[in-house]
Structure 1
């Protein structure tokens, strides 16, 4: 047939791998999900003794995104549905522009689609409980990601007549995570606004003023940052039995994705995530202490010299981070 029905999983890291999946998609989507390196994270509030375990990706979010790709793919364009795994995020790509409205039209869960590109396929998937036809899917994905205090999904329009969705499986900015963890009653609209701040996407002055009045962000010059860690309890993420701060987890995630990093690359990764009350010298000192701690714990190692370090995950920790769940 000139119209391929195929799913492709691609691991876009230094450990490169891929696999193709063919119908029946009822089984193929589960097989593809099992290829994703969905490691366990354990969240530990500073004043608590018992950790809360959470997977890097929510299975329901992943399958909802994948099933949407299958249901809405334009099969006449002779293309695959592709899932790209990039360290701490997943990218879903399917051919065919959004068929009924735009993604954000469905964010509140109030819009009902009037038509589908593939009506018979959509009906069959509905009867198998793979999708719903009432427009709740996008709302549920955003809500579930918000409950995990992770970054919001991103829809992109970088490619004509195609849909590209990114699901984040890690922390972008520790301040965002802390604010959401401490303010569980935030509306989805406010969470989306905070997400735009961490991704450096412009917001209206009205929204910025509301967030600032609520004590969720602070203003410094022409930029806005999340309420300082001193105003919130500190939270850490652990990957084994040891406690990692959010900043340490950022370094681990970066090394998982890019395999290695120089000191200047790690400085660039962390500097804008650290509180603005610190000077550049203090931030550099804190970053140095962070790297020393991870090295002493056996999490990372320096493959370079003292003057020109090249940081990598230790072999044992790298294997632990690749463990599937």
Structure 2
């Protein structure tokens, strides 16, 4: 990204799609939203792939650097997703070191064709380098643009019903009958059935028909789109061991991919009656929902394939091309209603009719609940690089977290569990999330090293686990140093590290633990209890 930044710096001045801001410690969220709306709309009008908002550089191109943290950046992303319409967010964010200072590059997508992006109900634009309301002429230019065609509904002119798989059509009939038991579909010929199921359009073969029901050799008819799922098996070290490609018809390929996954039994460690003896690593619904979501929401204009990576240590990762339309997954889980906009509405409608995806859009929420009920980590969503990557872990990773769920099924809301899941994974928390968890006494520790609170630990018999997180306090740490010096007369820092590192909190990384030892030595020095003698430390009343 350094080359891109240098190219942007060579621009003589800020433009409608480029803005530099100093933003040393933070940046006003409301102003950020206005700039996002303006730059997104101007990128659309200029027919550009993106716009740029650069933090850590002023408009004279002086590099001052920024100290905006990942946690603060996550708050910005959530704010943008919450208050833009249609829902939008950064394509990506990049940190670049230049002249010994850190610069933050925020990559902003163009507004969708026909839909200017507003911030809190107002559309913004740029007048040269100045922020302003999007004028009426520009607003109409965007609104009068042709909407991007629905890829799934596009007719494949060269295709006929002979390009569809007889076996796939038969399976589609069975699934459609399950969803519509009162219809006499047995009396319909294939053309009528495909029209009624909204797979074809007025008897013509669509991209959706080829993708879901097409013969394997028919895939080229939807080129440059790719109707393919690749399954990859990797070992614990992420080394590839096996793979296989599955093409059209995807209605049948989904079952073939599912059959490749080694869904082993997960056996819990004996905990009295706390856990069941064994469960499937992956609930079948979760596998099918994640895979079918990839098919339904893939951006087929990008020409990518769907990937499913299975790791032998119990992790599945699903990847599809295209941005996550709702903006962020917490919004979907918390919503009481489905999204009003889909990337592939014709394809999505057909998949609903065939029972491949949930009718009311609650499949993602159900995935979270199923993982929660087994005390497994919740699904993780990575939405960077214009793709959606979903990771499902089929095992207990944090025993304290699992026990907390097991003992508190009726106490914690799904939102509470999502945030505790973040703590267990070491994911940065937003300030509002920290405040909420602290108010419920669910976490302790200093940002970013949070852990399960002592209040929680005591209520579930997790005192030893809690102590491992909390570790010994400074007073006891200093007492051990003094006891060591009284017994042995002197010691260097390595001696104290060997004595203390494994007793310090697990939430600290090795360097933070070494820093804690150093800080306690300095504290004892300031108290005039110990003194340095070269590389050794001795009691202050000791003689040279």
TM-score (normalised: structure 2):
0.41
Q: CA-to-partner distance for each residue in 1:181-216, whole Å, 9 max, x for gaps?
A: 111121011101111112222335564455456454
Tell me how far apart the structure 2 counterparts of residues 221 and 166 of structure 1 sit (CA, whole Å).
Answer: 25
8 Å Cα contact 2:232-2:240 kept in structure 1: no
1:240-269 CA deviation, whole Å, 9 max, x = no partner?
xxxxxxx9xxxxxxxxxxxxxxxxxxxxxx
CA distance in 2, matches of 1:184, 1:40: 23
Structure 2 CA distance for partners of 1:117 and 1:93, relative to 1, 3 Å: same
The corresponding residue for 2:30 is none
Once the two structures are superposed, what CA deviation does each residue of 1:15-45 show, in whole Å capped at 9, x if it has no partner?
6111111222222112212211221112355
Q: Secondary structure at the match of 2:231?
A: strand
Match of 2:267 among 42, 51, 64: 42
Q: Counterpart in 1 of 2:445?
A: 219
> 2:247 — aligned with what?
22
Is contact 1:145-1:152 (8 Å) kept? yes
Query: Which structure 2 residue ranges, 5 or more long, are not aligned?
Result: 1-219, 473-499, 505-544
Against the structure 1 CA distance between its residues 124 and 224, is the aligned structure 2 distance closer, same or farther, given a 3 Å change threshold?
same
Q: Which residue does the alignment assign to 2:357?
A: 131
Q: More deviation in 203-212 or 132-141?
A: 203-212
Q: What is the correspondence of 1:60-209 to structure 2 with a 5 Å cutoff?
A: 60-86=285-311, 87-160=313-386, 162-185=387-410, 186-204=412-430, 207-208=433-434
Q: Tell me the residue number matched to 1:5.
A: 227
Larger mean CA deviation between 123-132 and 46-55 belongs to 46-55
Structure having the higher Rg: 2
Cα distance in 2 between the residues matched to 1:8 and 1:116: 24
Which of 259, 280, 294 aligns to 1:55? It is 280
Alpha carbons of 1:145 and 1:9: their partners in 2 closer, same or farther (altered >3 Å)? same
* Matched position secondary structure for 2:226: coil
**Is the 2:274–2:406 Cα contact (8 Å) retained in structure 1?**
no
* Alpha-carbon spacing, 1:78–1:49, altered in 2? closer, same or farther (3 Å): closer
- State the distance in 2 between where 1:273 and 1:8 align: 45
TM-score (structure 1 length as normaliser): 0.66
Q: Which runs of 5+ in 1 are unaligned?
A: 235-246, 248-271, 284-325
Which deviations, in whole Å up to 9, do the C-alpha atoms of 1:281-317 show, x marking residues without a partner?
469xxxxxxxxxxxxxxxxxxxxxxxxxxxxxxxxxx
Asked whether the equivalents of residues 326 and 332 of structure 2 are also in contact (C-alpha less than 8 Å), the reply is no
Distance in 2 of aligned mates of 1:206 and 1:101: 19
CA distance in 1, matches of 2:242, 2:467: 32
What does 1:241-260 align with in structure 2 at a 5 Å threshold?
none
Higher mean alpha-carbon deviation, 183-192 vs 86-95, is at 86-95
Moved more, 59-68 or 95-104: 95-104
The answer for the alignment partner of 2:497 in structure 1 is: none
Alignment RMSD (CA, Å): 3.0
Shift of the alpha carbon at 1:61? Answer: 0.9
CA contact (8 A) 1:72 1:118 kept: yes
State the distance in 1 between where 2:338 and 2:231 align.
30
Structure 1 runs, 4 residues or longer, greater than 4 Å off: 204-207, 212-215, 227-231, 272-275, 277-283
Distance in 2 between residues matched to 1:133 and 1:42, nearest whole Å: 34
Count of matched residue pairs: 247
Cα 1:8–1:200 shift into 2, 3 Å: same
CA contact (8 A) 2:325 2:343 kept: yes
Counterpart-to-counterpart distance in 2, 1:54 and 1:81: 28
Secondary structure at 1:219 match in 2 = strand
Alignment deviations for residues 205-233 of structure 1 (CA, whole Å, 9 cap, x no partner): 56445545645433379732125766525
Go from structure 1 to structure 2 and tell me whether the alpha carbon gap of 1:100 and 1:174 turns closer, same or farther (over 3 Å shift): closer
User: Structure 1 residues 277 and 69, CA, compared in 2 at 3 Å: closer, same or farther?
Assistant: same
Q: Give, in angstroms, the shift of residue 70 of structure 1.
A: 0.3
